[in-house]
Copies of this chain bind each other. A is one copy, B any other.
Amino acid sequence: MRRYFPILDWGRSYTRDTLISDLIAALIVTIMLIPQSLAYALLAGLPPEIGLYASIAPLVIYAVFGTSRALAVGPVAVVSLMTAASVGQLAQHGTPEYLGAAIAMAFLSGLMLLAMGVLRLGFIANFLSHPVISGFITASGLLIAAGQVPHLLGIRAEGHTLIETLGAIVGALGTLNPVTMALALPTLAFLFWSRSRLKPFLKARGLADLPANIIARAAPVVAVAATTLATWGLDLAGQGVSIVGDVPKGLPMPTLPPFDLTLWAQIAVPALLISIVGYVETVSVASTLAAKRRQRIDPDQELIALGASNIGAAVSGGFPVTGGFARSVVNFDAGAETPAAGAYTAIGMALATVFLTPLLFFLPKATLAATIIVAVLSLVDLGALKRTWTYDRADFAAMAVTILVTLGIGVEAGITAGVLLSLALHLYRTSRPHVAIVGQVPGTEHFRNVDRHEVVTAPDVVSIRVDESLYFPNARFLEDTVNGCVAKTPALRHVVLMFPAVNAVDASALETLEAITTRLAEAGITLHLSEVKGPVMDRLARSHFLDHLTGQVFLTHCDAMRALAPDLTASTLGATRRDTHRNGKPDRGLDAAAGL
């Protein structure tokens, strides 16, 4: 029970102090979330009230199922962009079909997350490497910011890619609306300034931390109120300023997503991508915050919590939600101690939905665009490209491809290309296990890489030390290595594979070992193993491999050499050397050998 309902855990020890801390945090997050919810709904191509709806039920549900004490769930920029990108291919903006597809997306994504949680498939998030997710968020931030620029300028310009959007903006520059710009640009500047400078400014003027914090977080609300008032008072809508218009008042009605299998099939892949991207963001925020207070989150339970939240979003008429980075940090900094803070935030949002919506009629869309731009530009991290280039070229390639494809083709193509490329690069790297040909260090029972150490070998025995577990990505490489040794050593009679670092041998690698045995046997060469670990040996014993093995399994490599090359071991223990290798090539095997 407690595994699936963490509320049973923290709910028992809920005190008055905790309540006060949670209420204060909820107040601050609510203030921050009102303009953001409206803005992200617009970003997703949906009516503004949908953003409010998506910030009520999911928060209550997360409070019941979530294991993070500080995560704040709701609409976020990247997921909203992904929703817009995929739903936009299926239906026209502003139609009931568009809204229905967005709701279905939340529902399907919720089901997928829930299923992954129950099946404990949280490891699927490992498919997304850091460079890919970081590149994807940077590119999404740029795309989102560029898409909002027309709202600031009072022009109409749309595009699916960054180039298209920028081109459309340049093309529409002739239709600039100076009134919109006069309203939007100061708002943008104020938001940028208040984001980082307002709190220190207030504290420097003697305000205490808590009120300074609340006022700083309220800056976007102040911007919303001021620009709405200005638009109403000066009748700016009549001068070409786009306004939000009618927002339905009241709480959302329970709805069911459209059960249309064709639609579900069309949104299945985007829903999966949204689920995984949202989950990765959630887990990374949640575990960062948990670690700060020496708490833990349960990644599989987070899947369940996020899945249930998205289903909650869908049945209350909302769109896909996830744990937001900025608002979770704000929640944490404001002192939220339990997920109950999220439930109180939901109450705040519900009150806003009931009482504030009539006041939003004159809210300029430019203000929301400015809110979005300020939020997403903090996600853009182009410096990561340079850091990754310095550190690892393969990771840089994955990041660069993710960014370029996201900007140039689209979000789904971008994340897919990044994942596939990083998997391919990973397979490439792991397809070459460390393998070293070893010889005996004279006078000792130690064996070291022949390319790096002065060692002796017998002309008719090759000892190959395998430094990694054998799986299908690297099975072929072992085969090639053995074939290479056989082809270049005509006198060869015995091959010994040393397995001190082999923790597992999968079925592909087993077949490879069988193939190697058979081929060596046909060429008159015997295959032996040495230093095989217990669990690997147990598993090999369950197959027919040991029956077909032409040679023996030696406990230590020294035993193997004593049996196969008795002259050699006798002579080197007597310190006579023959067949000595030495060269100074740099070789990754050195450190592996040193580690033994």
Contact = CB atoms under 8 A, between A and B. Distances in A.
Interface of A: 123-131, 283, 287-288, 290-292, 294-296, 299, 387-388, 390-392, 394-396, 399, 422-424, 426-431, 434, 467, 471-476, 479-480, 483-484, 486-487, 490, 500-501, 503-504, 506-508, 510-512, 515, 519-520, 522-523, 531, 533-535, 539, 542-544, 588, 590-592, 594-596
Contacts of A591: 503, 533-535
18 contacts: A123-B431, A125-B476, A126-B427, A129-B507, A287-B480, A291-B483, A294-B487, A387-B543, A390-B542, A392-B507, A395-B506, A395-B507, A395-B508, A429-B471, A503-B588, A533-B594, A534-B591, A595-B596
A507 B398 CA distance: 11
A379 to B, nearest CB: 16
Given A288-B519, A535-B591, A487 B296 contact: yes
Nearest to A520: B291
Number of chain copies forming the complex: 2
A523 B130 contact: no
3 closest residue pairs by CB, A with B: A395-B507, A129-B472, A291-B519
Nearest to A590: B534
A130 B511 contact: yes
B483 A392 contact: no
Given A292-B519, A523-B292, A539 B392 contact: yes
B123 A391 contact: no
A276 to B, nearest CB: 13
Given A123-B427, A296-B487, A467-B503, 14 more contacts: A128-B472, A129-B472, A129-B507, A130-B507, A130-B511, A287-B483, A288-B519, A291-B483, A291-B523, A295-B487, A387-B544, A391-B510, A399-B507, A595-B596
Contacts of A474: 126
A428 B504 CA distance: 14
Nearest to A484: B296
A294 B590 CA distance: 29
A423 B423 contact: yes
Contacts of A596: 595
Contacts of A592: 503
A510 B394 CA distance: 14
Contact of A126 (B131, B476, B506, B523): B476
A491 to B, nearest CB: 12
A130 B476 contact: no
Given A126-B473, A515-B288, A592-B503, A523 B391 contact: no
Contacts of A519: 288, 291-292
Contacts of A595: 500-501, 531, 533, 596
Contacts of A543: 387, 390-391
Contacts of A471: 426, 429-430
Q: Which of A129, A392, A472 has the most CB of B within 10 A?
A: A472
Contacts of A588: 503, 535
B387 A429 contact: no
A434 B469 CA distance: 11
Contacts of A392: 506-507, 510, 539
A175 B541 CA distance: 53
Nearest to A489: B294
Given A503-B467, A522-B292, A542 B483 contact: no
A500 B283 CA distance: 29
Contacts of A434: 503
A531 B129 CA distance: 26
B290 A539 contact: no
A484 B588 CA distance: 33
Contacts of A479: 287
Contacts of A127: 427
